[in-house]
């Protein structure tokens, strides 16, 4: 599989102190849905804006389709479609007029018939002649996606595409992403706060925090049920932590702050862990396995 | 051309674009109605300061060319504000709507996009000016007919024969176009610095007010250092086309009293436009799009 996006050590600082992105490196392979996760202010949008030349990196290199950015900006953008945060469109124009403008901006002179087909695909054909200011957030989102896809790009970058959508809208976007990836073989980079959604669509993912990479890898590997996070619930946390640090479990302890005790281990070792703690006088109320992406995300980005 | 068409399409699809046309139409019609019903009285008032040295029947003075001259004197000071309404919104309006980031993810360079938007703003300015010309000149000629044009200059009056006027108006409108495009470029420059529509419009109008006050201040220090370079000093240069040379009290047809001053004013306006546009390109090329 060829690499579509390769970012090496990119950094962006705003002003003198705010380091939005700090030495971030990652690769997105062809045909992947690549999930981009992080809390608010983690640097996701800044990174996406750098990939789209909206923001100039302070340092580092970006290659897309094997071409250097920004040197080959036009050639790269010709093959890229994007939505950044809310897909704001010209509210005083109709959906058809909006789509015509963005097609022309991409160098395409599409007929109204073709544009209507695009609108039909996202279920807006019957509202094609309505002004966008009369649209709901979900309809605007769908139209934004149509505007991003009108020139049939190979790479699609969606920054928070489900923001402000109702459950049906979220399900529609998920379906669309999977259709673009599985049926049309497009490469997608998707950032989202809805981790459960990401778990369902992303092949690989990158979790960032404070502009730095926390972890990157295939979703299946990150959520490996064999190796799970276990939260220890006890009435004597200090003693439990002391036991863990002085036994073979010391390397497994991932978090011992803010009253949480998290241990990463194989499922089969949970009884041994329990015995060890109990034999050292630690009363255990429960050992809670945490293996969803949300748990994983919170555990790795906990401050 | 395709991109320019898109920009013009967007401009003329916005209701606010027609505010300027509406305002101008209302002002010109109000002046024309006033002149139709009380024009001779107005002419008598204007000419009263010249009584003793000059005498002409008000009916002869009041004609389409004269009314147009009055309208231009009134309007060309205020049209810049209407131009700023659109030019100041060209980039900041897109940022405010959130469409700028979408436009910049399309395979169009920033300089290309900026120039296209500037030419669209300039085209709008020209169309607005053509509308002013149609209403103020053609409609006035239709309503009041043509005759000699009396142009008062202090205690002096230039009388232009009716066959020697039309080209002067065409030249004056051409000059006004250059002046208004300078204003458009100033508003456009401010537009690249802001993510809301109001800021650049207010900034542009504020600069016009401050520069106009500086232009009118009679202080030698400013006369020699600042004034010659301010675009507001030269914006009313179009009047120069109506100041003619005379010989033994008779004006010479086809003459212009000080053509080099008009040329100089035009060049300074173009230089201002170039500077404003260059700053806009320089800044926009480096700008992080965070809107």
A150 to chain B: nearest residue by CA?
B106
Rounded to a whole number of angstroms, the distance from the CA of B251 to the nearest CA of chain A is 54
CB distance A84–B97 less than 8 Å? Answer: no
Element (H, E) at B49: none
What was the pLDDT predicted at A224? 67
> Quick check: B176 and B137 in contact, CB under 8 A?
no
The band of B16, judged by pLDDT with boundaries at 50, 70 and 90, is confident
- The answer to whether the Cβ–Cβ distance between B101 and A78 falls below 8 Å is no
Q: Please state the pTM of the whole predicted model.
A: 0.84
Portion of chain B with pLDDT greater than 70, in percent: 96
Scanning A135-154 for CB atoms below 8 A from B yields 144, 147
Please count the residue pairs, one from chain A and one from chain B, whose beta carbons lie less than 8 angstroms apart.
76
A235 interfacial to chain B (CB closer than 8 Å): no
Q: Kindly list the residues from chain B whose CB atom is less than 8 angstroms away from the CB atom of residue A53.
A: 104
Name the helix (H) or strand (E) containing B258. Answer: none
Is A101 in CB contact (< 8 Å) with chain B?
A: yes
Sequential pLDDT tens for chain A (303 residues) = 799 999 999 999 988 778 889 889 999 999 999 999 888 888 899 999 999 999 999 999 999 999 999 899 999 999 999 988 877 899 999 999 999 999 999 988 899 999 999 999 888 899 999 999 999 888 888 899 899 999 999 999 999 888 778 888 888 888 888 988 998 899 999 998 777 778 888 999 898 888 888 888 888 777 766 677 788 888 888 888 888 888 888 777 776 666 678 888 887 788 888 888 899 888 888 887 765 566 667 666 665
For A279-291, b/e burial (b = at least 16 CB within 10 A) is eeebebeebeeeb
| Domain map (residue ranges) of chain A | 1-79+153-218, 88-152, 227-301
Q: Which of B104, B106, B288 sits opposite A106 (nearest CB)?
A: B106
pLDDT at B140: 95
3-state secondary structure of B148: coil
Regarding beta strands A262-266 and A253-255, do their DSSP bridges make them parallel or antiparallel, or are they unpaired? antiparallel
Cross-chain Cβ contact B15/A92 below 8 Å: yes
Given 3-state DSSP classes, what are the helix, strand and coil percentages for chain B, each rounded to the nearest 5? 75, 5, 20
DSSP states of chain A as a string? --EEEEEEEEEEEETTTEEEEEEEEEEEETT-EEEEE--TTSSHHHHHHHHTTSS--SEEEEEETTEEETTTHHHHHHTEEEE-SS----TTSBHHHHHHHHHHHTT----HHHHHHHHHHTT-GGGTTSBGGGS-HHHHHHHHHHHHHTT--SEEEEESTTTT--HHHHHHHHHHHHIIIIIT--EEEEE-S-HHHHHHH-SEEEEEETTEEEEEEEHHHHT-TTEEEEEEEES-HHHHHHHHHHSTTGGGEEE--TT--EEEEEGGGHHHHHHHHHHTTPPEEEEEEE-SHHHHHHHHH--
**Cβ neighbours around A52 below 10 Å, total:** 23
Domain A1-79+153-218: which CATH number of 3.40.50.170, 3.40.50.300, 1.10.1740.10, 3.40.50.10130: 3.40.50.300
Question: Chain A partners of B101 at a C-beta cutoff of 8 Å?
Answer: 49, 52, 54, 84
Q: Which of B101, B106, B289 sits opposite A105 (nearest CB)?
A: B106
Q: What is the pLDDT of residue A192?
A: 82
CB nearest B6 (choices: A49, A78, A101) = A101
> Tell me: the pLDDT tens digits for B166-180?
999 999 999 999 999
Cβ of B288 and A56 within 8 Å?
A: yes
Identify the pLDDT of residue A33. Answer: 94
Say whether pLDDT at B80 is over 80: yes
A104 chain-B contacts, CB cut-off 8 A:
2-3, 6
Question: Beta strands A155-159 and B149-153: pairing type?
Answer: unpaired
Q: What is the pLDDT of residue B146?
A: 92
Which tokens is A69 given? Answer: 């950015």
Distance in Å, alpha carbon of A214 to nearest chain B alpha carbon: 25
Q: Does A105 touch chain B (CB under 8 A)?
A: yes
Please state the domain extents for chain B.
2-286
User: What pLDDT was estimated at residue A189?
Assistant: 95
B33-79 pLDDT, tens digit per residue, is: 999 998 888 888 777 766 566 666 666 788 999 999 999 988 777 88
Residue of A nearest to B116 (CA): A105
Hey, of B106, B113, B291, which one would you mutate to test binding to chain A, going by the most A CBs within 10 A of its CB? B106
Q: Which residue of A has its CA nearest to B108?
A: A74
Distance of CA B96 to the CA centre of its chain: 27
Mean pLDDT of the residues in chain B: 89
Q: Which residue has the higher pLDDT, B241 or B16?
A: B241
Give the separation between CA B171 and CA B263, rounded to whole angstroms: 12
DSSP bridge partners of A159: A191
Quote ipTM for the complex: 0.82
| Contacts with B, A 41-70, CB within 8 Å | 49, 52-56
Residue A82: list chain B partners with CB under 8 A: 102, 105
Task: Determine contact, residues B231/B182, Cβ cutoff 8 Å.
Answer: yes
**Dist CA A200 CA A174 (whole Å):** 8
Task: Give the model's pLDDT for residue A258.
Answer: 61
How many other C-beta atoms can be found within 10 angstroms of the C-beta atom of residue A211? 23
Task: Provide Rg for chain B, Cα atoms.
Answer: 21
- Give the per-residue pLDDT at A293: 61
CB contact under 8 A, A89 and B102: yes
Q: What digits encode the pLDDT tens for the residues B229-262?
A: 999 999 989 999 998 887 777 778 878 888 999 9
In angstroms, how far apart are the furthest CA atoms of chain B? 71
CB atoms within 10 A of CB A227: 15
Contacts of B2 in chain A (CB under 8 A): 104, 109
For the stretch A122-181, pLDDT in tens is: 888 999 999 999 998 888 888 998 999 999 999 999 998 887 788 888 888 888 889 889
- CATH class of the A227-301 domain in this structure: alpha beta
Q: Do B288 and A52 touch (CB under 8 A)?
A: no
B→A interface, C-beta within 8 Å: 2-3, 6, 9-10, 13-15, 97-99, 101-109, 286, 288-290
B207, B265 Cβ separation under 8 angstroms: no
**Tens digit of each residue's pLDDT (9 = 90 or more) over B120-138:** 999 999 999 999 999 999 9
Q: Tell me, what's the pLDDT at B51? A: 59
């Amino acid at each position: 599989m060829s690499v579509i996006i390769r970012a090496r050590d990119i950094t962006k600082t705003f002003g003198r102190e705010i380091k939005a992105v700090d030495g971030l490196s990652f690769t997105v392979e062809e045909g992947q849905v690549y999930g981009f996760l992080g809390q608010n202010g983690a640097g996701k949008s800044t990174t996406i804006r750098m990939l789209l030349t909206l923001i100039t990196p302070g340092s580092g290199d970006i290659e897309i389709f094997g071409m250097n950015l920004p040197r080959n900006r036009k050639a790269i953008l010709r093959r890229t479609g994007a939505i950044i945060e809310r897909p704001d469109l010209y509210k005083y124009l109709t959906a058809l007029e909006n789509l015509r403008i963005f097609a022309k901006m991409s160098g395409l002179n599409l007929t109204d018939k073709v544009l209507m087909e695009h609108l039909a695909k996202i279920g807006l054909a019957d509202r094609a002649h309505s002004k966008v200011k009369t649209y709901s957030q979900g309809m605007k989102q769908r139209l934004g996606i149509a505007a991003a896809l009108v020139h049939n790009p190979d790479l699609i970058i969606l920054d928070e595409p489900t923001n402000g959508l109702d459950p049906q809208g979220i399900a529609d976007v998920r379906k669309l992403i999977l259709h673009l990836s599985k049926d049309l073989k497009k490469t997608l980079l998707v950032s989202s706060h809805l981790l459960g959604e990401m778990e369902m669509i992303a092949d690989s993912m990158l979790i960032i925090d404070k502009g730095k990479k926390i972890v990157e890898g295939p979703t299946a590997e990150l959520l490996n049920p064999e190796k799970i996070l276990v939260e220890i619930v006890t009435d004597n946390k200090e003693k439990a932590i002391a036991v863990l640090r002085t036994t073979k479990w010391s390397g497994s302890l991932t978090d011992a702050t803010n009253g949480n005790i998290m241990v990463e281990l194989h499922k089969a070792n949970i009884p041994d862990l329990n015995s060890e703690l109990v034999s050292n006088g630690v009363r255990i109320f429960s050992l809670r396995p945490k293996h969803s992406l949300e748990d994983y995300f919170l555990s790795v980005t906990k401050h | 051309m395709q991109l320019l068409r898109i920009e013009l399409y967007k401009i003329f699809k916005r209701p606010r674009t027609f505010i300027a046309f509406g305002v101008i139409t209302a002002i010109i019609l109000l002046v024309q109605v006033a002149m139709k019903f009380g024009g001779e009285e107005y002419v008598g008032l204007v000419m009263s300061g010249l009584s003793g040295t000059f005498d002409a029947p008000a009916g002869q003075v009041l004609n389409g060319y004269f009314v147009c001259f009055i309208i231009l004197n009134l309007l060309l000071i205020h049209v810049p504000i209407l131009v700023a309404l659109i030019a100041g919104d060209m980039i900041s309006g897109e940022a405010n709507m959130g469409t700028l980031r979408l436009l910049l993810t399309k395979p169009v360079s920033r300089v290309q996009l900026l120039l296209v938007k500037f030419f669209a703003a300039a085209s709008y300015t020209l169309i607005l000016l053509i509308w002013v010309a149609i209403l103020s000149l053609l409609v006035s000629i239709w309503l009041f007919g043509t005759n000699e044009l009396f142009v008062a200059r202090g205690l002096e009056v230039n009388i232009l024969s009716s066959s020697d006027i039309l080209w002067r108006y065409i030249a004056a409108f051409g000059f006004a176009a250059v002046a208004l495009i300078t204003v458009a470029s100033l508003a456009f420059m401010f537009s690249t610095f802001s993510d809301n529509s109001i800021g650049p419009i207010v900034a542009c109008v504020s600069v016009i007010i401050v520069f106009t006050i500086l232009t009118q201040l009679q202080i030698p220090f400013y006369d020699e250092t600042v004034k010659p370079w301010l675009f507001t000093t030269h914006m009313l240069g179009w009047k120069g086309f109506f100041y003619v040379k005379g010989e033994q009290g008779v004006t010479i047809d086809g003459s212009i009293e000080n053509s080099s001053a008009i040329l100089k004013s035009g060049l300074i306006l173009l230089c201002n436009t170039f500077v404003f546009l260059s700053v806009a390109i320089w800044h926009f090329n480096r700008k992080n799009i965070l809107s």
